[in-house]
Structure 1
Amino acid sequence: MIAIIIGLTIGFGLPIQTTINSKLRDAFGSPFLSSLISFIIGTIFLAIVVVASGQVLIVGMTTISSQPWWLWLGGVFGVIYLTSNILLFPKIGSVQTVIFPVLGQILMGLLIDNGGWFSSAVQRLTVSRGLGALLVLIGVIVTVALPNYLESRKALVDVQAKADVQGSGKDGLNSWLWRLWGVFAGMLSASQTAINGHLGIVVGSAIKSAFISFLIGTVLLIIIVLIMRPKVRYKETTDQHRWWMWIGGVIGSLYVLGNAYLAPTIGTGLAVVIVLIGLMAGSLLIDQFGWLDAKRNPITPIQIIGLITMILGVVVIRLI
């Protein structure tokens, strides 16, 4: 029960972090620079927590040399996933940018559990687990895509708005390549969860595992920013500057920390779907109440049905 609460909580915080980071991006004018700032803040926060808990930040060379190479890729996968979402949005639209990575997360979570990949505990793919995962995916589609589709049909919005709902005005090979990349990015996200979970076991601390992952991600983002050299145009105005826009990295670090704890505790597949339910619930509440300067978009009955479908999927996976 504690694991489920943790999963729902960190999932709930993810759309809050996204909203906060969008404000940071608006203030600095660069998604990559804002992501780097968020990662640096998260890394510093986790470093303080590690030291406060009486642990050391450094990992011994013996540990590094004796472990598989993939153990240090969690932070890299996290950066790729984050960057992919930035790139996917203008290519396939907001709705599909959510759905295709989610599909990749669910598929990879089941594969990791079934094959015991990344040294995770084996949880065979049964009919009930497959059915539960399918219900979760259907719930995501109903919650995210169906309301937009019905609204576009009813209101007969312009072509550009329809393109955002459907993903792209041109449904050619290029669009499908981006969709496949979205699935792949989601698979990397699930892999990060499993890797960080095993890293926590190796170093004896989920907190230290999250710190290492964030540190590696920060170094990679520094390299990306140095290569791309984005223009900095900080806007310190009342509309652009909010004190809470600096805490996105803290929320992100807690998300990584929670996943590092959940993966070895309940399995990667179940951790992914529980976090997804928290994510969807958080997104709906942000839309409903317009938290953090977000545009208000009242929850519809269809979205509630979608969320209930996702919860039913978790019940099927967990109990049947």
Structure 2
Amino acid sequence: MLLAAVLGVAAGALLPVQTAVNTRLSASLRSTFLASLVSFGIGTVFLAVVVLVLRPSLALGATLAHRPWWIWIGGLCGVVFLTLNMVLMRRLGASVTVVLPVLGQVLGGLLIDVTGAFGVATRTLTAWRLLGTLLVVVGAVLVNLRRRPGPRTGGAPAPGAAASRALPLLAVAAVLAGGLSAVQTTVNGELGKALGSSIGASLASFLVGTVALVVLNAVLAARGRLVGAGAWARPPWWGWSGGLLGATFVAVNALDAPLLGTSLTVSVVLLGQIVAGLVVDHTGALGAMRRPLTAPRLGGAVLVLAGILAVRLGG
């Protein structure tokens, strides 16, 4: 369990890096949805190679015949989460892109545990869990306090006044996307148990997401909403690595969820996400918007972590 927890923290730290990488790729390709497709496609190929090398025994027939339809939706949740994160990264910065979905993940995990959704064991709503949720909300507000966009080291330019007016809507969408991330973790964990392989569940999740993005990009292309290849700029070499990072993140989550449970898996992953998000934000690494680390923002991150621990204690 200790090794699983350490892997979860490391996987969580990959998520802000993946978002920054994919955001740079979307700027080069001039399409968020096309960048999502490239990322999912690369991740799918990588996971397929791993499955071919490891050759795990997959109970695919029994899963298709006897498991509910929702066990396959993890990839769709991942598509929404990944794509929205790229939009948020350009407009809000790395740490905010982490913290707002964190709120959604905590609320989503709380709702899943209380209702017993997706086949998980039902858990009682305790005072500790309510306190933890409140701390996460307050921490998220502090991290977003007095947003001041800084200079960029690369990527897309800062948004104008029209885009700024859409920020509250984006913030709400970020929380909802975080809830979908909690659903993805739970569903992929159940799929891994059904198939008898966490890596097989990760491949299935990425394959579903890739197919959905192929259809979406085909529709956009038919309507003339995608730019031609001649308008693309060449991304840096690391701009193609988002799919590998995402595949690793999903695989570790699918492995950890049955071992640690949904709540603890979400908690250790969020720890890695918050720390890495603040580092990327402060340094402006990988073309992210640079936002220096201030005392209120650091205090907000600490409150988010305290809220996560309180939710876990109220388990």
Q: Indicate the TM-score class for this superposition, using the shorter chain for normalisation.
A: 0.7 to 0.9
Match of 1:316 in 2: 310
Match of residue 245 from structure 2: 251
Mapped pair 1:114 → 2:114:
yes
Q: Distance in 2 between matches of 1:210 and 1:140?
A: 30
Mapped to 2, the partners of 1:101 and 1:247 lie a distance apart of 22
Over 3 Å counting, the alpha-carbon distance change for 1:60 and 1:150 in structure 2 is closer
Work out whether residues 262 and 271 of structure 1, in 8 Å CA contact, stay in contact via their aligned partners in 2. yes
Give CA deviations for 1:139-174 in whole Å, capped at 9, x if unaligned: 23322x1252799xxxxxxx9569739935xxxxxx
Decide which moves more: 186-195 or 293-302.
Answer: 293-302
Contact 1:114 1:124 in 2 (8 A): yes
Deviations 1:79-113 (A, max 9, x none): 133344567789xx638876654433221211111
Q: Paired residue for 1:37?
A: 38
Measure how far apart 1:115 and its partner are: 2.4
- C-alpha distance in 1, partners of 2:89/2:241? 24
Root-mean-square deviation (Å): 3.1
Aligned equivalents of 2:81 and 2:55: distance in 1?
32
Aligned residue in 1 for 2:203 = 211
Q: Please state if 1:231 is matched with 2:236.
A: no
Letter in 1 for 2:179: M
How far 1:179 sits from its partner (Å)?
5.9
Q: Distance in 1 between matches of 2:161 and 2:11?
A: 31
Counterpart Cα distance in 2 of 1:181 and 1:290:
24
Q: How far apart are the structure 1 equivalents of 2:271 and 2:278? A: 11
Give the Å deviation of 1:197.
0.6
Structure 2 contact 283–292 (Cα < 8 Å) conserved: yes
Q: Deviations over 1:238-283 (max 9, x none)?
A: xx53111111001011111122123223332343343233222112
Distance 1:233 1:4, change over 3 A: same
In the aligned structure 2, how far is the partner of 1:307 from the partner of 1:84? 21
The answer to whether the Cα contact below 8 Å between 1:148 and 1:165 also exists between their aligned partners in 2 is: no
Instruction: Specify the alignment match of 2:278 in structure 1.
Output: 284
Aligned partners of 1:162 and 1:306: how far apart in 2?
28
Quick check: 1:133–1:314 contact (8 Å CA) kept in 2? yes
> Cα 1:138–1:20, aligned 2, differ >3 Å: closer, same or farther?
same
- The answer as to whether partners of 2:40 and 2:243 remain within 8 angstroms in 1 is yes
Letter in 1 for 2:81: Y
User: Residues of 2 paired with 1:303 and 1:295: CA distance?
Assistant: 15
Q: Partners in 1 of 2:301 and 2:281 — Cα distance?
A: 14
Residues matched between the structures, number: 299
Q: Secondary structure at the match of 2:229?
A: coil
Q: Secondary structure at the match of 1:241?
A: coil
**SS of equivalent residue, structure 1 residue 148:** coil
Q: Measured at CA, do residues 87 and 27 of structure 1 come closer, stay the same or move farther in structure 2, by a change above 3 Å?
A: closer
SS at 1:38's partner residue? helix
CA contact (8 A) 2:100 2:175 kept: yes
Gaps of 5+ in 1: 152-158, 169-174
Counterpart contact for 2:23–2:86, Cα < 8 Å: no
Match of 2:52 in 1: 51
The residue number in structure 1 matching 2:153 is none
Q: Is the 8 A contact 1:147 1:302 kept in 2?
A: no
Per-residue CA distance 1:16-59 (angstroms, 9 max, x = gap): 11111111112211111111011010011111122222226x76
Per mean C-alpha deviation after superposition, the further-off stretch among 280-289 and 3-12 is 3-12
What residue in structure 1 maps to residue 92 of structure 2? 94
Q: Which runs of 5+ in 2 are unaligned?
A: 151-158
Q: 2:137 maps to which residue?
A: 137
Distance 1:317 1:185, change over 3 A: closer
Distance 1:204 1:313 in 2: 33
Kept in 1, the 8 Å contact 2:44–2:210? The answer is yes
TM-score normalised by L of structure 1: 0.81
